[in-house]
Amino acid sequence: MDKVLVITGGSSGIGKATAILFASNGWKVFNLSRHTGKEQTENITHIYCDVSSEKSVKEAVQQVYQNTKYVDILIANAGYGISGPIEMTPLQEAKHQMEVNFFGAFNIIQAIIPEMRKRRQGKIIFTSSVAGLLPVPYQAIYSASKAAINALALALQNELREFNIKVSALLPGDVSTAFTDSRTKTQGTIIYTRADKAVSLL
C-alpha cells in the first residue's frame, strides 16, 4: 500500500522541500496550499486550500479522501510571519497571523484526526519555531503563534496517545528560504530605531 502524506503549505520553503523529499522516496503526497509552486513533481498532488478557512480545509480534505482512504502522516506546516513593534501592530494583522499559523493548524488536525483515530495509527507533525520558545523582539505575534502551536502539540500528544497517534513539533531556527523576504512588516520603525536591523538579522 502507498504511504500517504498530507502537508499544508507545501509549495515553498520548508514545506516544498519536505513534499519533494517524501515524493522522491515513493510517498503519495498531497500539498494543501493556495499556490501550486513553480515546479510540479511526480507523486505530489496539489489541492487548493486556505488553512485559515474551516470550509476550505474541509473541502480540501474531502478531495484527499476521494483519492485515498487513509493518511499516514499529516504535517501542519502552512504559515507566514509579520514583524514590527507590538505597539504599532494593527490588530487585524495580529489576528490574521494567528488565523493562519495557529488556527490553520487547528483546522487541519480537526479534519484529519477522525480517520487516524478510527485506524488507530498515524503521525501529526507541526512546523513550529525556536521563536516559540525564545520569543523574538519585533516578531512578537509570530512568536506567540508558534508558542501556541507548541502548547497545542503537547496537549494533543497526550490526548491521542490512547489511539496510537504520534504527535510532535519541529522547532527550526533560521532556514535559507524566502520566508524572511515574504514577511509582512508593520510600521513604527522610525520610532523603534532598532526594529529594522533586528528583523533583518532573523
pLDDT tens readout for residues 18-76: 999 999 999 999 999 998 755 557 889 999 999 999 999 999 999 999 999 999 999 99
The reported pLDDT for the residue numbered 117 is 98
pTM: 0.87
Helix (H), strand (E), coil (C) string for 131-154? HHCCCCCCCHHHHHHHHHHHHHHH
Each residue of 172-183: pLDDT tens digit?
876 655 445 555
- What is the secondary structure of 103-134 as a DSSP string? HHHHHHHHHHHHHHHHHT-EEEEEE--GGGTS
Task: Compute CA distances 139 → 129, 174, 182, whole Å.
Answer: 12, 13, 14
Q: How many CA atoms lie within 13 A of 164 on its CB side?
A: 8
The predicted structure's pLDDT at residue 39:
55
Active-site positions? 11, 128, 142, 146
Distance CA 6, CA 109 (A): 11
Q: Is 8 left (phi over 0), alpha (psi -120 to 50) or beta?
A: beta
What pLDDT is stored for residue 173 in this prediction? 78
Distances (CA, A) of 111 to 88, 136, 139: 35, 31, 29
